[in-house]
Amino acid sequence: MVVVKIKKPRTKMTEAAELLGLSYRQTQRIYERYAEECDAGLAHRSRGQTSNHTWGAKEKQKSLERYIATHK
């Protein structure tokens, strides 16, 4: 894992950024979060939350009923 290699003195942040295909600044932010929170810091912050564009249960049911009625 590239982020773990940064801890070693041989791998520089610029080399890690190049390997990841990210900017130096993005790599620095990722590394800082990894250093504070370990593996949990690499997970996306919105993970586990529902989308703002999620349809409610009523809308899903109506859509399913229309689909079944149309495609019988």
Phi, psi of 11 (to 5 degrees): -95, 125
Q: What is the pTM of this model?
A: 0.50
* Position 68 in a domain: no
* Position 71 in a domain: no
* Position 61 in a domain: no
Its domain, for residue 35, covers 1-44
Report residues of the chain scoring pLDDT below 50: none
Domain count, the chain: 1
* Position 72 in a domain: no
* Position 29 in a domain: yes
* Position 63 in a domain: no
Give me the pLDDT at residue 4, please. 62
* Position 55 in a domain: no
* Position 65 in a domain: no
Asked if residue 31 lies in contact with residue 6, where contact means CB atoms within 8 angstroms, the answer is yes
